[in-house]
Chains A and B, each alone.
Chain A
Amino acid sequence: MVSGKKNSHIGWIVAVIMAIFWLLIAFVPFLFMVLTGFKEKLEVILGGALAFPKSLYLDNYRSIITDPSFWNYFKNSVIVLVLSLFFLLLFTAFAAYPLSRFKFKGRGFVYFLIVACMSIPIHVTMIPVFQMSIRTHMYDSIWILIPTAVAFAIPVSVFIMTGFMQGIPKELEESADIDGCGRYRRFFRIILPLSKPGLSTLAIYNGVNIWNEFIFAFTLTQSEKNRTLPLALWNYQGQYSSNTAMIMACLTLSVLPMIIMFSILQDKLVKGMMAGAVKG
């Protein structure tokens, strides 16, 4: 008994050592990124990779923040994010309502069609969507990024939201029905307000994905003024490819919004980001 306890003590110490090892692996690249962002161009090459910067050199950040095109990327990202999320949440709630609470012909089929799309590689839609954007003269504008973001997020979102709405007690709606409240009003007055927790989870999950979206923004836009933040990295990389410090400052700035969100929302953000982790 005593020796067993001793063994488990040693086992725990080994576990903590391994945990610290993993801590280093997870953290050192971050440290590299943040430290390098404060270095001068030549310092990166001459000093060690993880050496502390000689002085707090802020010019990298200053030149990014004072660059109007950076704020333009930022503005585009915010517009795409806000409008996409608004329509996505609204349409998802619309669709989940009948799918979760009505009995009607075709329900099973429609639900199956939507959910079956969850594991589709979106790359398969890329060429026709590109073609469509040219034909409708929406190529190279941020507006094309909104319907695509909404459409690709729909399958998972409807799946999650339908599950959520099934959990809202039937009685609430039934009593409203007896009081003569029609289906449309029941949706806006009862179901939608009660779905807020589900919607906020969806907002976090999809918000993170839309904010980071790269491949469609990359394919469907071309000019610098119409691109979103993930592509700012791409452009800066082209512009300053030999200036590691500059790129790292840019990367640090790109991670900053997420770190701020994480420190405010903590477990809520974590839970939201895992919302899409459903069995396909």
Chain B
Amino acid sequence: MNIKKESLASRRQRSTIICAYVFLIPVIILMVVFLFYPIVQTFINSFTSWNGISANKSFNGFYNWNKLIHDSDFWKAFLNNIKIMVLSLIIQMPIGILLATFLDTGGRKYNLFKIIWFLPLLMSSVAVGYLFHYVLATNGGIISGISQLFGGGVVDLLGSQKYALYAVIGVICWQFIPFYMVYYMAGYSSISEDLYEAAAIDGATRTQYIRKIAIPMLVPTIKSAIVMSVVGSLKYFDLVYVMTNGGPGTSTELMATYMYKNSFVTYNMGYGSAIAAGMFILITAIATIIMRVMNTGGDD
């Protein structure tokens, strides 16, 4: 009796496992073919000299990696990514919180504000890139138009080595601030209204409530927003590629655009793979560090 029961249990367990993997098979196959295998292959390719078209791939040891470590263009691109990351945090997080706070305090009356503020998020990165390519153009663009209206000359932000990156960062902020605004609004709405009522009964003003109660309760939301912003900043491609194509010179080159150009414009795929692999390592390292830092700050 006992033995029979056990075998029934183990048979049931086996059928559970089989059933589980039957359901998992499509996802596992797709991930192996399009994620795991390509990642491994990228690392292997990074040790070869290869133009991507011909069949002969010759191993050249650490040549590409050595070149990558000494490639000032790559590190310049990395630095540009870091600048985007830092300035995105400094600009997007506070403005996102301010806008969300405004809408949370103002209520339904300000729905029109919410809708218009949200608009940039409806555009794809490619469309945003093109739009601002023309908004910032010297000929018929908005910024130059305003400058000329006040008697100034044309302003060529995207043509200047010095300011192009900051113009790009401004556009990135324009596109993503609505995202963080909505994200913080969701954070606000998860705070119970009772808390405000209780605080109001105790004589707190709305400002005090926001500063002393709501913002501290928003900290976990802010932390995950920071993680998202950091990871996103290191991966940008579309917007920059269509808006400046990394130029003028290398002033707005990013890791992803640099990798793309090496691989698919000059067809140096061995070196392109090394860039991609280096990017993978850097992003994973930075993301891990940021997540650690964010998680030790408090228990959320």
Question: What chain A residues lie within 8 Å of B238 (beta carbons)?
Answer: 214-215
Question: What chain B residues lie within 8 Å of A259 (beta carbons)?
Answer: 122
Stretch of B38-46, B72-80, B161-169, B192-200 contacting A (4+ beta carbons < 8 Å): B38-46
Q: Flag A6-31 by CB within 8 Å of B: 1 or 0 each.
A: 00100100010011001101111110
Interface residues of B in 4-56 (CB under 8 A from A): 13, 15-17, 19-21, 23-24, 26-28, 30-31, 33-35, 37-39, 41-42, 45, 52
Residue B215 at the A interface, CB < 8 A?
no
**Residue among B124, B142, B276 having the largest count of chain A Cβ atoms under 10 Å:** B124
Question: What chain A residues lie within 8 Å of B102 (beta carbons)?
Answer: 15, 19
Question: What chain A residues lie within 8 Å of B280 (beta carbons)?
Answer: 120-121, 124
Query: Nearest residue in B to A20 (C-beta to C-beta)?
Result: B113
Q: Determine the distance from Cα of A131 to Cα of B179 in the docked complex, in whole angstroms.
A: 35
CB contacts between A and B, total, < 8 Å: 245
Is B279 touching A121 in the complex (CB atoms < 8 A)?
yes
Question: What chain B residues lie within 8 Å of A98 (beta carbons)?
Answer: 19-21, 23-24
- Which of B13, B37, B178, B264 is A26 in contact with, Cβ under 8 Å? B178
- Which of A22, A147, A254 is B99 in contact with, Cβ under 8 Å? A22
Residue B291 at the A interface, CB < 8 A?
yes
Residue B218 at the A interface, CB < 8 A?
no
User: A interface, by DSSP: helix, strand, loop or mixed?
Assistant: helix
Is B231 touching A244 in the complex (CB atoms < 8 A)?
no
Query: Nearest residue in A to B149 (C-beta to C-beta)?
Result: A48
Is B23 touching A187 in the complex (CB atoms < 8 A)?
yes
Return A45 CB to nearest CB of chain B, in Å: 6
Q: Determine the distance from Cα of A70 to Cα of B279 in the docked complex, in whole angstroms.
A: 36
Q: Determine the distance from Cα of A99 to Cα of B95 in the docked complex, in whole angstroms.
A: 39
**Residue among A94, A126, A152 having the largest count of chain B Cβ atoms under 10 Å:** A126
Q: Determine the distance from Cα of A49 to Cα of B206 in the docked complex, in whole angstroms.
A: 41
- Which of A28, A97, A187, A234 is B242 in contact with, Cβ under 8 Å? A234
Is B260 touching A103 in the complex (CB atoms < 8 A)?
no
Residue A4 at the B interface, CB < 8 A?
yes
Residue A141 at the B interface, CB < 8 A?
no
Residue B63 at the A interface, CB < 8 A?
no
Return B184 CB to nearest CB of chain A, in Å: 11
Using A237-B130, A254-B124, A270-B182 as known contacts, say yes or no to A49 and B140 having CB atoms under 8 A apart: yes
Residue A33 at the B interface, CB < 8 A?
yes
Q: Determine the distance from Cα of A197 to Cα of B28 in the docked complex, in whole angstroms.
A: 25
Q: Determine the distance from Cα of A32 to Cα of B123 in the docked complex, in whole angstroms.
A: 14
Question: What chain B residues lie within 8 Å of A91 (beta carbons)?
Answer: 26-27, 30
Is A26 touching B119 in the complex (CB atoms < 8 A)?
yes
Q: Flag A48-69 by CB within 8 Å of B: 1 or 0 each.
A: 1110000000000000000000
Residue B188 at the A interface, CB < 8 A?
no
Is A94 touching B24 in the complex (CB atoms < 8 A)?
yes
Question: What chain B residues lie within 8 Å of A4 (beta carbons)?
Answer: 205
Return A130 CB to nearest CB of chain B, in Å: 8
Is B127 touching A251 in the complex (CB atoms < 8 A)?
yes
Using A95-B24, A154-B31 as known contacts, say yes or no to A50 and B126 having CB atoms under 8 A apart: no
Q: Flag B110-122 by CB within 8 Å of A: 1 or 0 each.
A: 1001001111111
Is A129 touching B27 in the complex (CB atoms < 8 A)?
no
Residue A273 at the B interface, CB < 8 A?
yes
**Residue among A8, A49, A87, A98 having the largest count of chain B Cβ atoms under 10 Å:** A49
Return A116 CB to nearest CB of chain B, in Å: 10
Is B127 touching A277 in the complex (CB atoms < 8 A)?
no
Residue B60 at the A interface, CB < 8 A?
no
Return B194 CB to nearest CB of chain A, in Å: 22
Q: Determine the distance from Cα of A126 to Cα of B41 in the docked complex, in whole angstroms.
A: 10
Residue B97 at the A interface, CB < 8 A?
no
Is B234 touching A120 in the complex (CB atoms < 8 A)?
no
Question: What chain A residues lie within 8 Å of B89 (beta carbons)?
Answer: none
Q: Determine the distance from Cα of A91 to Cα of B29 in the docked complex, in whole angstroms.
A: 11
Question: What chain B residues lie within 8 Å of A172 (beta carbons)?
Answer: none
Is A30 touching B119 in the complex (CB atoms < 8 A)?
yes
Return A263 CB to nearest CB of chain B, in Å: 9
Is B131 touching A251 in the complex (CB atoms < 8 A)?
yes
Interface residues of A in 73-128 (CB under 8 A from B): 87, 90-92, 94-95, 97-99, 102-105, 107, 110, 113-114, 117, 119-121, 123-128
Question: What chain A residues lie within 8 Å of B269 (beta carbons)?
Answer: 127
Query: Nearest residue in A to B170 (C-beta to C-beta)?
Result: A25
Q: Determine the distance from Cα of A34 to Cα of B42 in the docked complex, in whole angstroms.
A: 43
Q: Determine the distance from Cα of A211 to Cα of B124 in the docked complex, in whole angstroms.
A: 9
- 5 A-B residue pairs with Cβ-Cβ distance under 8 Å, sorted by A, are A29-B135, A127-B42, A150-B30, A219-B264, A277-B228
Given contacts A90-B26, A94-B26, A251-B130, 9 further A-B contacts (CB under 8 A): A8-B206, A36-B134, A104-B17, A113-B31, A119-B283, A124-B39, A154-B30, A211-B124, A258-B122
